[in-house]
Amino acid sequence: MLFAHGFGCDQGMWRFVEPSFRAGYRTVLFDHVGSGGADLACYDPQRYDSLVQYADDVLDICAELQLEQAVFVGHSVSAMIGVLAAIKQPQLFSRLVLVCPSPCYINDSDDGATGYVGGFSRGDIAGLIDFLDDNFVAWSGAMAPTIMGNPERPELGQELESSFCRTDPTCARQFARVTFLSDNRPDLALLRTPALILQASEDAIAPPCVGDYLHQALRGSTLVRMAARGHCPNLSAPQETVAAIHDYLR
């Protein structure tokens, strides 16, 4: 069972979830390049200019550890990284668990009135990226509470902010562009691996309509609407997250 963290995070974000699966699975945790304990010397901005290289990193981990028929659990952007990996080498994965996923963060129309609704206009995304480029620390402080949700538990937003600030800023700037500007909607029809979609409520990054879109686009998928609020139920509601995954894998 392979756990992949989201943007600006590291493998520690799974510390309340992963231990619940050790009895039944060989669990694997890792850090994306630029995050946690990953070797910065491996970072190449030309290679990491799309989610494809991140997916290839997942495949390299599977090859190194000789994983087959693994359950891939991906949070946020790592959900699409897992989708790309499973499309490329489907024999390596038995199930995907997509936690607060989004195939595209940008609306088809500026006001979201027509077509696909990802939650943000192009101007919104451009502003977020410009803000991050201008002052990464300030961006982290402003965005972490919004992303986390749960304002009555400010310690969660503070933890996410600290995680953002530990991420290498050069890698983070490019990963942000890759994350928020990617459009993986055309890839969804190519996926053959069964998938669980965990849709949190009041998610400012991946609203409920995105979960509905994915459920319709991914054949044989299962959609679970969580009571958990915000974009990081692996931290804010680990028991509900664990229960939903266990129920699906049964």
235 pLDDT band (50/70/90 cuts)?
very high
Query: What percent of the chain clears pLDDT 90, i.e. is strictly above it?
Result: 91
Query: What mean pLDDT do residues 15-23 have?
Result: 98
Whole-number pLDDT of residue 110: 78
Contacts of 193 (CB under 8 A, 6+ apart): 86, 90, 93, 94, 95, 96
Positions marked active-site: 76, 203, 231
Whole-number pLDDT of residue 41: 87
Contacts of 226 (CB under 8 A, 6+ apart): 198, 199, 200, 201, 233, 237, 240, 241, 244
Letter string b/e over residues 212-248, b meaning 16 or more CB atoms within 10 A of that residue's CB: ebbeeebeebbbbebebbbbbbbbbbbebbbebbeeb
Whole-number pLDDT of residue 83: 98
User: 182: burial class by Cβ within 10 Å (0-12, 13-18, 19+)?
Assistant: buried
What does the pLDDT look like over 183-194, one tens digit per residue?
999 999 999 999
150 pLDDT band (50/70/90 cuts)?
very high
What does the pLDDT look like over 31-43, one tens digit per residue?
999 898 898 888 9
Taking residue 111's Cβ as centre, other Cβ atoms within 10 Å add up to 8
Whole-number pLDDT of residue 179: 96
145 close to 231: Cβ distance less than 8 angstroms: no
Query: What mean pLDDT do residues 208-231 have?
Result: 97
Contacts of 74 (CB under 8 A, 6+ apart): 3, 4, 80, 81, 82, 96, 97, 98, 99, 101
The C-alpha atoms of residue 96 and residue 170 are separated, in whole angstroms, by 30
Whole-number pLDDT of residue 165: 86
What does the pLDDT look like over 32-75, one tens digit per residue?
998 988 988 889 989 999 999 999 999 999 999 999 999 999 99
What does the pLDDT look like over 94-146, one tens digit per residue?
999 999 999 999 999 877 778 999 999 999 999 999 999 999 999 999 999 99
Whole-number pLDDT of residue 111: 77
